[in-house]
A and B are shown apart, each in its own frame.
Chain A
Amino acid sequence: MTGTAELERRTAELLAAHPPATTDRLDFLKARFDAGLAWVHYPEGLGGLGAPRSLQVVVDTALEAAGAPDNDARRNGIGLGMAAPTILKYGTEEQKRRYLRPLWIGEEVWCQLFSEPGAGSDLAALGTRAVREDGGDWVVNGQKVWTSGAHNSRWAILIARTDPTVPKHAGITYFICDMTDPGVDVRPLRQITGEAEFNEVFLTDVRIPDARRLGGIGDGWRVAQTTLNNERVAIGGMRLPREGGMIGKAATTWRERPELRTHDLHQRLLKLWVESEAARLTAERLRQQLVAGQPGPEGAGMKLAFARLNQEISGLEVELRGEEGLLYDDWTMRRPELVDFTGRDAGYRYLRSKGNSIEGGTTEVLLNIVAERVLGLPSEPRTDKDVAWKDLAR
């Protein structure tokens, strides 16, 4: 297995052959991918070296120190965090070679066509239909929602119903959808903050060649689990400094604006500060567990904790600002490419953080997951599992 010394050697070779100062950004990224230093835990030939994931930091640190460009991962979070691991696990060799390199480099941005107006927490109830034309292409019709980045994306990961006569989990198939297809209509979905970070995506007779199916026909739910599990893993790996998140903004306001302080707010702020520090330490502990190769179930809880804290802290900061809390920085309808959770005024943060307990699994669903998968408590009696999708209540 590739160790630290080997990675350091290969990184030095990459830097020598392609000096960042004189190399085009995309050329450098391509060379990095081809050297197996993009994501070292991926297989050789697909941007990796089959090394332990924990050693990625060796490469990243050396490249950052050398001033090398990175792939601006935030611009393609869904591609890198969700589409790529799914393609790696379920894709054909041809699909892996076609999609992973431009995805990692950032030439091709990805989005996710999963949620529907009628299928939120109960995602497996989705109704977007994919019908195959006598052994040829699939033709897709339906509506997806909460698609971030759809307007910038080249590709989408898509799940659609291919067999309505079997129970809902069994009749789903996973596809790679070309976002430039004329049947794809992307419309901004304005949210309570005033901007449109997300989209509605209407699919009308969208044609998908069978070669862009990921996994077996009817196997889409299982394939989607890989995507969704990676969504939650992504939250675990961060190293946060003290006051690194939302609490840092509120604490700064408190220190800089003594005239705003009240005793009631002081008690509440201190309590939230302590809870934020405990949550930060939990995230740090999770990171240490991952590095030590002992991943724990704690990751499932981190999103729950940070969602509540972000909401309570930003809510407190709106109150702290008093008269200014009655104002808002900007209601203009815009389409931000990146979401900056802590960048704008407290009022914006308060409204945006309301989504933290909905996006990526509602708090209510995540609590069920913790209760059932971590604590081993029984699930509620189900009436939907063995009924054909077409016969479900809707």
Chain B
Amino acid sequence: MSAQPDLLYSEEEEALRSAVRDLLADHCDAPGVIARTESDAPHDLAAWKALGDGMGLAGLLVPEDLGGQGATHREAAVVLEELGRAVAPVPYLTSAVVATEALLACGDEELLGRLASGRTIAALAVGLHLAPGAAFTAVRVEEGALYGELTGVADAVAADVLLVPAEDGGLYAVSVADTDAVTVTPQISFDLTRPLAGVTLAGAPGRRLGDAGPAVHRALRAGAGLLASEQLGLAEWLLTETVRYLKERKQFNRPVGGFQALKHRLAQLWLEVVNLRAAARAAADALATGVDTEVAVAVAQAYAAGVAVHAAEEALQLHAGIGMTWEHPVHLYLKRAKADSIAYGTAGAHREALAELVDLRAP
């Protein structure tokens, strides 16, 4: 606790940010993202290919000798900030962070190499709402074949491989393409840009990777910690875009952004975004160094959801009529922000964890 986390961005991290931002400007413009949400292919696999194949970003957390970049959570967090800014429908958090962390815990070199290249997408088959340490559903396993039903698995429709916890305590890899015994059924999801799916396993062959308990915990902890950076990106876009709009929008013969009542709300929001940046950087740095990780992640997740949702709600209200339309992208951000407030544990769940971690116990 004595050493302070590095809360700044390095020059390399800033360079990475601008490269990702440029790429997303080409791939993920708002009308395109909105149109895609109602198509048969909710994920933007061209953007994913450019991020993974083109820039090698799917393998940031994978060591170089396994085909990855050997970078850290700090860099992955910068990528997630930019993906949040664009509400990009790519399975980065789910495959390149959460599934990758589960595989790192199991030490599965073969799959790690494939995920690092971006050519294989994996999803950890637990509900998106689960906080690190929460109980998760395990499926039945008989002679290497898996049987059961799972719901709420984020980005499963894009996944080539599912990482499935089983009742024998193992985590199994199930290759979706290789068997008819896996059915992935899209669920109508609140967040259109990170869709959920149900998974039915009817005797699907699985390969045991390792112990599910520690792998799932580690994966969800990284997911929760880096989700804060995505939420920062959402909030930052919402604030910037709302400020821009209110400088232009005129009513009562002056820019609406000049009314003090609105200025104060935007200044408060700015302050929340500034605080979130510090909390999110602290979580990313703690995941990278392993110092104070549990507390830093819980603080970031206990703080981030409120900021992202507040930013989205303010953006909608201050855009007013236009913000209520399907055509304007603010609803994509509201839906992502609200879903993110449940993903990897609610703020309340993370506060509960903190009560133990920092010894502020319940009555």
Contacts and interface: CB of A to CB of B under 8 A. Distances in A.
B278 A282 contact: yes
Interface in B138-173: none
Interface string B237-280: 00000010011000000110111100110111011001111110
Interface stretch (A106-114, A137-145, A216-224, A375-383): A375-383
Given A284-B278, A370-B270, A273 B7 contact: no
Contacts of A254: 360
B359 interface: yes
B257 A377 contact: yes
Interface centre among A270, A364, A372 (most CB of B within 10 A): A270
A378 B266 contact: no
Interface stretch (B33-41, B55-63, B122-130, B350-358): B350-358
Given A281-B279, A284-B4, A292-B8, A274 B351 contact: yes
Contacts of A271: 302, 351
Contacts of A279: 275
A288 B267 contact: no
B138 to A, nearest CB: 31
Interface in A265-286: 266-267, 269-271, 273-275, 277-279, 281-282, 284-285
B275 A375 contact: no
Interface string A240-268: 01100000000100110010011100110
A261 B359 CA distance: 13
A351 interface: no
Contact of A374 (B270, B302, B358): B270
Given A281-B7, A380-B260, A275 B270 contact: no
B275 A372 contact: no
A263 B8 contact: no
Given A239-B4, A242-B1, A285 B278 contact: yes
**Which 3 residue pairs across A and B have the least CB separation, nearest first?**
A371-B263, A378-B258, A281-B278
B303 A266 contact: no
Interface centre among B5, B281, B355, B358 (most CB of A within 10 A): B358
Interface stretch (A8-16, A25-33, A298-306): A298-306
Contacts of A255: 359-360
A271 B6 CA distance: 24
A279 B277 CA distance: 10
B93 interface: no
Interface string A136-176: 00000000000000000000000000000000000000000
Interface centre among B270, B277, B354 (most CB of A within 10 A): B270
A377 B266 contact: yes
B299 interface: yes
A282 B275 contact: yes
A304 to B, nearest CB: 6
Nearest to A240: B4
Given A281-B275, A372-B263, 4 more contacts: A278-B279, A278-B303, A301-B270, A368-B260
B282 interface: yes
Interface in B327-363: 348, 351-352, 354-355, 358-363
Given A278-B303, A281-B278, A298-B274, A377 B360 contact: no
A377 B282 contact: no
Interface centre among A275, A292, A377, A378 (most CB of B within 10 A): A377
Interface of A: 239, 241-242, 251, 254-255, 258, 261-263, 266-267, 269-271, 273-275, 277-279, 281-282, 284-285, 288-289, 292, 294, 298, 301, 304-305, 364, 367-368, 370-372, 374-381
Given A274-B354, A281-B278, A305 B270 contact: no
Given A242-B1, A271-B351, A368-B260, A266 B362 contact: yes
Contacts of B5: 281, 284
B263 A376 contact: no
A278 B362 contact: no
Contact of B363 (A242, A262, A270, A281): A262
A285 B355 contact: no
6 contacts: A266-B355, A266-B362, A269-B360, A281-B281, A281-B299, A284-B5
Interface centre among B4, B275, B360 (most CB of A within 10 A): B275
Given A274-B302, A285-B281, A377 B355 contact: no
A191 B324 CA distance: 49
A320 to B, nearest CB: 11
Nearest to B1: A242
Nearest to A304: B271
Contacts of A275: 275, 303
A261 B363 contact: yes
Interface string B93-123: 0000000000000000000000000000000
A285 to B, nearest CB: 4
A28 to B, nearest CB: 30
A165 B303 CA distance: 52
A95 B243 CA distance: 45
Contacts of B7: 281, 284-285, 288
Contacts of B263: 367-368, 371-372, 375, 377
A357 B280 CA distance: 27
A194 to B, nearest CB: 31
B360 A273 contact: yes
B360 to A, nearest CB: 6
Contacts of A379: 258
Given A263-B363, A271-B351, A284-B4, A377 B275 contact: no
